[in-house]
Structure 1
Amino acid sequence: MPTTTPVQPHVLLVATPFQSHVNPLMRLGRRLAAKGVLVTFTTALRAGIRLDEVSGVDGFRVERLRGGDLWEPDDPRFVDANDMARHLSAAGPAALEALIRREAAAGRPVTCVVANAFVPWALPVAADMGLPRAMLWIQSCALLSVYYHYLHALAPFPDTDDATGSVAIPGLPDLAIDELRPLLIYTSSQDMWRQMVVTDLGSVREKVSWVLVNTFDALEHETIAALGEHVPVIPVGPLLEPETAEADGCTAWLDAQPPRSVVLVAFGSLVKTGDEETAEIAEALAGADRPFLWVLRDENRALLSKDTLAAATSRGRGKVVPWCRQARVLAHGAVGCFVTHCGWNSTAEALAAGVPIVACPRWSDQRINAKFLVDVYRVGVRSPTPVTRESLRLSIDEVMAGPEAEGFGLRAASLKKRARAALADGGSSDNGVQAFVDQISELARSGGG
């Protein structure tokens, strides 16, 4: 009897050119490729963006968004985020359409387009070309629920001048105005990034068939269940670096430290601490008298005098690096505390590694993430910001040696176990990815969208 050759589904991933947006989308793509999906990743690549996590992964391709009026990767205008966003909104659609057509001409027709948030022009292009669409929400389901309830007027939100105001949303603890105020919904209606969120989520049910979220069911079960009544939410996280990745040049140094002794300090790829705060962090780490690994980007490092940095590393037995594979460092047995800005990627990586937290939130979702880490998951403490040497030193001591230190560690270890269970074969996130793969595979077989 004649046999039918299976049609391989082809997913096109479209990312904003920020490392914190690129990473989770690439990690989703790696998991899709492992399940037999052909994956093509694209972004308007700019200097400094790392794509090495997926090098050599079978079934995973990278095609830079190019052509037309798109800037070259080293164009200095990529430095300004607003200029970049305006440029991509204007030049991105034609470049994306051309890429989709090139893939079809090469015998690799795209089955489904997956875009992360802040690429509001990508999904309309896919819709106009008759392609099924999905969104990867790279932040917490809690934040997604906050934005959705605000944009669809499903809950009364307080005014910014209401000092005691709060909002109650199904599946979430009450959120105070101080936790809400940094969010984009409280910025000017002319703010470009706010407009993108409105565009992405204002009609999300009409735009996409799947909303994939970088979270796992055991972490945000109530939130996922409540929001699932409005939005087709599928938890697929935590989206982590490959297990085979090493912690770069930090591994040998970490291997030489006692178990759970190292303080990791990292504030992500966007937070820029001022000169005074950077010096305060250095003094706090020196005063804590514990081994530390401080990820200090070059622009922040330039704010420190050589004497201050030398004093911190000598007295504090520390190591300062401009970059590291954060998830792999967190997974190392020597790390016992993570001082973080509480961006969602960092939050998810810390929870998956079972490392207690000193939370130092700044903007956007970071205060909400800090609230969950400290008040809901109870895996750490919050340090006042901007950081002072005494507050940070006391916070580190509290997490690593205070009366609650053992409890922080036990609860963090429990969440690590649950995160790993979600990612394992048959776990909640693995099932979510498989359900998505099954549906797009059926679309590929039927040749329809």
Structure 2
Amino acid sequence: MGTPHFLVIPLPVQGHVNPLMQFSQVLAKHGCKVTFLHTEFNHKRANTAGASHDNNHEGSQIKLVTLPDGLDPEDDRSDVLKLLLSMNSTMPALLPKLIEDINALDVEDKITCVVVTINMGWALEVAHKLGIKGALLCPASATSLASAACIPRLIEDGIIDSEGRPTKKQEIQLSPDIPMMDTENFPWRGFNKTFFEHLEREMQTLELGDWWLCNTTKDLEPGAFSISPKFLPIGPLMSNESNNSSFWQEDTACLQWLDQQPPQSVVYVAFGSLAIMEQNQFQELALALDLLNKPFLWVVRPSNDNKGNNNAYPHDFVGSKGKIVGWAPQKKILNHPSIACFISHCGWNSTLEGVCSGVPFLCWPFFTDQFLDTSYICDVWKIGLGLDKDENGLISRGEIRKKVEKLVGNEEVKARSLKLKEKTLNSVGEGGQSSKNLNMFINWAK
């Protein structure tokens, strides 16, 4: 056999592109060939943001190719359902030709395996028809993948209805060794009927993948792996490469600013690439940061579209102790000695990055799997605290201040965070469980 050649296809949102690019870099380090498929729109966007302009990473091991997503340039791609439907109706017809072209250029090492993130299962169907093996790389936690895999059973047991809504308020266990889960916190909470039906179909399509690779470790969420023999923990995917797939220009000047702050003094605030905060909550957060009387680094993302994040700062906001940036090199920030805690939406990528940096969390989940991740952080690993809303549904400045004061300087939480960091990073070290699993996967692909 020649070298394994992977065609990797992420859903074109930042939280899927990043882990799949990290995975590609790991495969390349193991001597595999990787072809990374961007949508044309995202490829342009990443290039505009100053990502690397050549089409090759890691020498020539990672090649970039593109296909159109079927939308017009001015369409709103933050409407994920619209994007999915468009890709589903245009891309499957174009993929076989692309695979043929890639193989024609590389007759010795044709594509041996297609790896997708969730919502891109159509590509596994195309690969299956062409006799090419497939796998899923799940960008969320293994537990949230496990809960989606249990949808038919949850409906059958009457825990959720056919549209994914809980039939009553209760806590359940997906399996004896998974922590109790509030049925309100399933990752599809807030989805409409169309989206939930799409998810049901998607889970069936993903069965075509021989493996469901999870960016996690056996120790972080041991119970999830009992759900299906397809689950394989290969995380945390930590690449030290610069992020050449970011959609926004990263502000690296904030690292010099961090160098000037005392150790473990800075409150880092960032809510990922999709969450949008309502205006009055945004203002409350701004005033809370003034109130803290600590240095803070706050990522306020540039607006993606015309309706996005154009929040106005309150007129009495001073912000003199802080720095506000549009987009930031998050891994480097979290590993900086001046960071005291991380106010996060608790998406899985941010959760892993925080865990691998040993930084305590203040959890502020918005949607999908973030509530589940929050319960791991607060109740299972005990490395963070949740924020409670007041009677108006706001997280008040007083609440933020109270929780920051409770968290920063809490030696027990800090000690647990550092212990979990060590354990998690050991998984990808020499002889660690995730490293062994990854080698097994690569040998399978060969």
TM-score bucket (shorter structure):
0.7 to 0.9
Match of 2:185 in 1: 179
| Of 409, 415, 421, the match for 2:420 | 415
Query: Shift of residue 151 of structure 1?
Result: 2.6
Partner SS for 1:43: strand
Match of 2:96 in 1: 97
How many Å separate the matches in 1 of 2:56 and 2:290?
38
* TM-score, structure 2 as length reference: 0.87
Match of 1:237 in 2: 235
Question: What does the per-residue CA deviation read over 1:346-392, in whole Å, with 9 as the maximum and x for residues that have no partner?
Answer: 11111111100000112111111101100100001000244221111
Q: Which residue identity is paired with 2:377?
A: L
Query: Shift of residue 51 of structure 1?
Result: 8.7
Query: Shift of residue 262 of structure 1?
Result: 0.7
Unaligned runs of 5+ in 1: 1-5, 442-449
Partner SS for 2:346: coil
How many Å separate the matches in 2 of 1:204 and 1:222?
21
Distance 1:356 1:83, change over 3 A: same
Question: What does the per-residue CA deviation read over 1:234-284, in whole Å, with 9 as the maximum and x for residues that have no partner?
Answer: 111112341667982221011111111111100111110011011001111
| Of 176, 186, 197, the match for 1:195 | 197
Question: In the alignment, is residue 366 of structure 1 matched against residue 370 of structure 2?
Answer: yes
Partner SS for 2:35: strand
Match of 2:311 in 1: 303
Q: Which residue identity is paired with 2:404?
A: I
Distance 1:305 1:165, change over 3 A: closer
Question: In the alignment, is residue 263 of structure 1 matched against residue 271 of structure 2?
Answer: no
How many Å separate the matches in 1 of 2:323 and 2:253?
11
| Of 429, 436, 440, the match for 1:435 | 440
How many Å separate the matches in 1 of 2:282 and 2:182?
29
Partner SS for 2:294: coil
Distance 1:40 1:175, change over 3 A: same
Question: In the alignment, is residue 87 of structure 1 matched against residue 89 of structure 2?
Answer: no
Query: Shift of residue 177 of structure 1?
Result: 2.7
Partner SS for 1:393: helix
Query: Shift of residue 163 of structure 1?
Result: 5.0
Partner SS for 1:342: coil
Match of 1:446 in 2: none
| Of 30, 35, 39, the match for 1:35 | 30
Question: In the alignment, is residue 395 of structure 1 matched against residue 395 of structure 2?
Answer: no
Q: Which residue identity is paired with 2:136?
A: M
Match of 1:117 in 2: 118
Q: Which residue identity is paired with 2:311?
A: L
Q: Which residue identity is paired with 2:401?
A: R
Q: Which residue identity is paired with 1:178?
A: E
Contact 1:258–1:334 (CA<8 Å) still a contact in 2? yes
How many Å separate the matches in 1 of 2:145 and 2:124?
18
More helix by share: 1
Partner SS for 2:150: helix
Q: How many residues are paired up?
A: 418
How many Å separate the matches in 2 of 1:362 and 1:248?
27
Partner SS for 1:195: helix
Partner SS for 1:42: strand
* % identity of equivalent residues: 28
How many Å separate the matches in 2 of 1:253 and 1:318?
10
Alignment RMSD, CA only? 2.4
Match of 1:145 in 2: 146
Query: Shift of residue 161 of structure 1?
Result: 6.3
Question: What does the per-residue CA deviation read over 1:309-357, in whole Å, with 9 as the maximum and x for residues that have no partner?
Answer: 5x1x21xx10000100112211111111000111111111111111000
Partner SS for 1:219: coil
How many Å separate the matches in 2 of 1:308 and 1:292?
17
Query: Shift of residue 80 of structure 1?
Result: 3.1
Question: What does the per-residue CA deviation read over 1:208-259, in whole Å, with 9 as the maximum and x for residues that have no partner?
Answer: 11110010112112322x12xx331111111234166798222101111111
How many Å separate the matches in 1 of 2:398 and 2:311?
20
Q: Which residue identity is paired with 2:65?
A: E
Comparing 238-247 and 321-330, the one that deviates more:
238-247
Question: In the alignment, is residue 132 of structure 1 matched against residue 130 of structure 2?
Answer: no
Question: In the alignment, is residue 14 of structure 1 matched against residue 14 of structure 2?
Answer: no
Contact 1:13–1:39 (CA<8 Å) still a contact in 2? yes
Q: Which residue identity is paired with 1:196?
A: H
Aligned pairs (5 A) from 1:312-391: 313-314=319-320, 317-385=321-389, 386-391=394-399
Aligned pairs (5 A) from 1:280-295: 280-295=284-299
Partner SS for 1:190: helix
Partner SS for 1:217: coil
* TM-score, structure 1 as length reference: 0.87
Partner SS for 1:337: strand
Distance 1:364 1:338, change over 3 A: same
Contact 2:137–2:214 (CA<8 Å) still a contact in 1? yes
